[in-house]
Structure 1
Amino acid sequence: MPDTPYQPEIVIDRTSDLPLYTQIAETLGALILDGTLTPGTRIEDEVSMARRLQVSRPTTRQALQSLADRGLVSRRRGAGTVVASPHVRRPMELSSLLADLTAAGYQVSTRLLEYDTHPADAKEAEHLEVDPGTQVTRLRRLRSADGEPIALMHNLLPAAIAPSRQELEQKGLYDLLRSRGVMPATAKQVIGARNATAKEADTLHERRRAALLTAQRTTYDAAGRVIEYGDHLYRASRYSFETSLFTG
């Protein structure tokens, strides 16, 4: 990030019916959307902006928060207000997030937060359609695009086909399964939304109770066996699902 925060040139019309915070937000939003302000640019803080533009601090705070709500900037204590990376749109297909992000031109990184093999409890056995006590492997990974957290992914697999820790930090889960001769064929997926917990918000660099997209996916091979159950969280400010609909 630059050492000196960006100070936007904003002309305020005090005779306009448009609220002052909206005038500020629209000017900054246009600069972000047309590429004048690039991802990572640090924007002047609300106190300095209020003083310079001769408006109240709540006005500049509301302007910057409205940009954050649109996903155009991120606001974190200690880091200030920073122009966010472009919104990720992912097609609704049976593919890995790593492959989709890489194909879209992002620099992708993965941090393995949890890797545990153990006998399945009743709920885990139900998810994988196996007997309780069957050895299963549980994963929790943080996926980032261009250095910015995008998704927190929980996966459950039969231990017999689970990739190693090292493999999961380098490649997508589905690619690793295919390399083992395990071919994802079909899946059932449920998309939803909820608010982030304090811990989830911290991990994903979001504010507390920020909106998150949820996806629960059960993936099957061609023989109808469950090969993976995923319970994933995505930042709604940075991520969306995209699908095509056709008339029948």
Structure 2
Amino acid sequence: MEPLTRLITIDRSSPVPLYFQFAQQLQHLIESGALTPGTRLENEISLADRFGLSRPTMRQAMQHLVDKGLLSRKRGVGTQVVTDRVRRQMELTSLHEDLRREGRHPRTEVLSMRTRPAEGRIASALRLEPGADTVVLRRLRYADDEPVALLENHLPAGLLDPAEEDLVAHGLYALLRRTGVTLRSAEQTIGARRATAAESRLLAEARGGTLLTMERTVLGDGGRPVEFGSHLYRASRYSFEMTLTAS
């Protein structure tokens, strides 16, 4: 590939801030595939010197792309173009199924599996009496050996009694279907928040990094809730996609 100095041009007469000129052109190179995932960039001091920019200006440009999830900084490695994000269509599928469909290699680490009384919004979502038993699963999902999501699922007791090896090898929805549970529809809410210190460690994310949140209640036959999920996804590695149609 040609040197960046031949691919990026800084126009000092433009009203567009210098950091944004650099960041916007570098973003285009990444999104067009000219800079492939895993490509290492020179350090900010060298890049600033090459383009005649101040170090704070170059630092701001690079941070802009880190915040957008296009670059990552790792101690001892430097700044790299990130691995392709997981792009998930808004369908009633599990993350395990979506990763396989994209040609990624899902791997699951089961963090805990226990029975717990339903309370508050969990009881409400599953339409259970407070105190009714639920099976609570906490799993860490990897794509190509990189952690992408922290999953917590609540199931009414007696619906599914999975073995840990089943949860490692299969998606939860596949296990539910195997026992005869039909998944009809879901109610879902997506948001975002900062990662806690514990979540950052599990997801290999910077402390205080942005996580996408998803809460989903899955309904089976007769509109009966069969699962409530509360999931966290790395915003730098994951996005939700949907198709909108006019009414």
Deviations 1:120-157 (A, max 9, x none): 14234334323444432211222232333322211111
CA contact (8 A) 2:195 2:208 kept: yes
Give me the whole-angstrom Cα distance separating, in 1, the residues matched to 2:201 and 2:55: 26
Instruction: Kindly provide the amino acid, as one letter, of the partner of residue 228 in structure 1.
Output: E
Secondary structure of the residue aligned to 1:142 is strand
Once the 2 structures are TM-superposed, how far is the Cα of residue 220 of structure 1 from its aligned partner? 1.9
- What pairs up with 1:68-147 in 2 under 5 angstroms? 68-115=66-113, 117-123=114-120, 124-147=122-145
| C-alpha distance 71-205 of structure 1, shift in aligned 2 (>3 A) | same
| C-alpha distance 7-195 of structure 1, shift in aligned 2 (>3 A) | farther
Instruction: Kindly provide the amino acid, as one letter, of the partner of residue 193 in structure 2.
Output: R
Once the 2 structures are TM-superposed, how far is the Cα of residue 95 of structure 1 from its aligned partner? 1.0
Give me the whole-angstrom Cα distance separating, in 2, the residues matched to 1:175 and 1:233: 20
Give me the whole-angstrom Cα distance separating, in 1, the residues matched to 2:242 and 2:192: 17
Secondary structure of the residue aligned to 1:50 is helix
Percent of residue pairs identical: 48
- TM-score normalised to structure 1 length: 0.84
| C-alpha distance 79-245 of structure 1, shift in aligned 2 (>3 A) | same
| 1:173 lines up with 2:169 in the alignment | no
Give me the whole-angstrom Cα distance separating, in 2, the residues matched to 1:86 and 1:22: 23
Cα RMSD after superposing both structures: 2.6
Once the 2 structures are TM-superposed, how far is the Cα of residue 174 of structure 1 from its aligned partner? 0.2
Give me the whole-angstrom Cα distance separating, in 1, the residues matched to 2:186 and 2:10: 54
Give me the whole-angstrom Cα distance separating, in 2, the residues matched to 1:199 and 1:238: 18
| C-alpha distance 98-119 of structure 1, shift in aligned 2 (>3 A) | closer
Counterpart in the other structure of 2:33: 35
Deviations 1:150-176 (A, max 9, x none): 222111113421422111111111001
CA contact (8 A) 1:76 1:207 kept: no
Counterpart in the other structure of 2:225: 226
Once the 2 structures are TM-superposed, how far is the Cα of residue 112 of structure 1 from its aligned partner? 2.0
Instruction: Kindly provide the amino acid, as one letter, of the partner of residue 120 in structure 1.
Output: P
Q: How many residues align?
A: 242
Counterpart in the other structure of 2:13: 16
| C-alpha distance 98-75 of structure 1, shift in aligned 2 (>3 A) | same
Give me the whole-angstrom Cα distance separating, in 1, the residues matched to 2:171 and 2:198: 25
Give me the whole-angstrom Cα distance separating, in 2, the residues matched to 1:96 and 1:243: 16
Once the 2 structures are TM-superposed, how far is the Cα of residue 63 of structure 1 from its aligned partner? 1.5
- What pairs up with 1:152-231 in 2 under 5 angstroms? 152-160=150-158, 161-231=160-230
Deviations 1:33-78 (A, max 9, x none): 2223221222222233334444322122112111112221122344
| C-alpha distance 149-16 of structure 1, shift in aligned 2 (>3 A) | farther
Secondary structure of the residue aligned to 1:223 is helix
What 5-or-longer segments of structure 1 have no aligned partner? 1-5
CA contact (8 A) 2:186 2:219 kept: yes
Counterpart in the other structure of 1:3: none
CA contact (8 A) 1:32 1:72 kept: yes
